[in-house]
Amino acid sequence: AQRIQSKVMGSRLKILGTTVSTQEEAKALAEEGAPEGTLVIAEEQTGGKGRMGRKWFSPYGKGIWMSLVLRPEQPLHYTPQLTLLTGVAVCRAVRKVTGVMAGLKWPNDLLVDGRKICGILLESAAEDEHVRYCIAGIGISANLDRDDYPEELTGIGTSLKIEAGEPIDRMALIATVMEEFEMLYELYRKDGFQPVASLWEALSVTLGKRVSIQTARGPIEGMADGLDASGALRVRTDAGEQIPVFSGDVELRR
């Protein structure tokens, strides 16, 4: 197995068999003062969490279920940028290690031919609008077989093994995700969000497509044009209006 070469990211590891959720484990460690780069990995999650209160299917030994502790020195409203940064890191690592040409769907899904292969959940703890810590949760469906999926996920989810036609070396992928993450995080700290946004745009399957987005303020339909400086998705409606979308569920239209 490959060793993690990055200096900070993944320099401290907690590897678990079965746990409820690596997010909760990482949060507990962060509350105890765990440094930036602490990584919690589990073979199985019994209460894997997705965005918007959804469950995340995390069967034993089949995936990469992991959570990374971050301590960015920045206001809370910048954290959506870290979701996008995490997506870029995972997408680059997946392409490098497996050759599977996954693409990014705003804000945080990795897709292969429209099927989901990875989800990212970023959670933050803040005090007075200043971040105490963030937990970047990454769920990669690495070695699931077709018959592992419950009925409600068939056609929606796929795995790297299914797409690549051979099992994935999970440790090699974890190590590369950490290296890519560290490189991007340094870039982000030095030069801000713009270079990360450009990389995200280049890997995106959302931009230039017609999208329909469910937001808290109702549905928005239009063309996905790009990211703005905060990481919001710029949507151009048929009326020619430019709307920044900060959160929501994106449906890609043909």
Annotated binding-site members for biotin: 45, 116
- Record the tokens describing residue 26, joined without a space: 């990482």
- Rounded to a whole number of angstroms, the minimum distance from the CB of residue 241 to ligand BTN is 29
Instruction: List helix spans (H) across the chain.
Output: 22-31, 79-98, 160-164, 170-191, 194-203
CA distances from 127 to 72, 113, 145 (A): 13, 41, 43
Closer to ligand BTN by Cβ: residue 58 or 206: 58
- Rounded to a whole number of angstroms, the minimum distance from the CB of residue 47 to ligand BTN is 7
- Rounded to a whole number of angstroms, the minimum distance from the CB of residue 48 to ligand BTN is 4
Closer to ligand BTN by Cβ: residue 109 or 182: 109
Closer to ligand BTN by Cβ: residue 21 or 79: 21
- Record the tokens describing residue 73, joined without a space: 């020195």
Residue set of the binding site: 45, 116
HEC string for 114-136: CEEEEEEEEEEEEECCEEEEEEE
- Rounded to a whole number of angstroms, the minimum distance from the CB of residue 55 to ligand BTN is 9
**Residue 106's closest CA among 194, 235, 240?**
235
Closer to ligand BTN by Cβ: residue 52 or 229: 52
Q: What is the DSSP string of 69-91?
A: EE---SBGGGHHHHHHHHHHHHH
- In the complex, the residues that contact ligand BTN under the rule CB under 6 A are 21-23, 45, 48-51, 54, 56, 58, 65-67, 109, 119-121, 137-139
Closer to ligand BTN by Cβ: residue 58 or 98: 58
Residue 217: beta bridge partners?
none
Closer to ligand BTN by Cβ: residue 66 or 224: 66
CA distances from 229 to 81, 128, 233 (A): 9, 23, 10
- Rounded to a whole number of angstroms, the minimum distance from the CB of residue 58 to ligand BTN is 6
- Rounded to a whole number of angstroms, the minimum distance from the CB of residue 174 to ligand BTN is 12
**Residue 108's closest CA among 85, 141, 131?**
85
Helix (H, G, I), strand (E, B) or coil at 167: coil
Helix (H, G, I), strand (E, B) or coil at 111: strand
Residue 173: beta bridge partners?
none
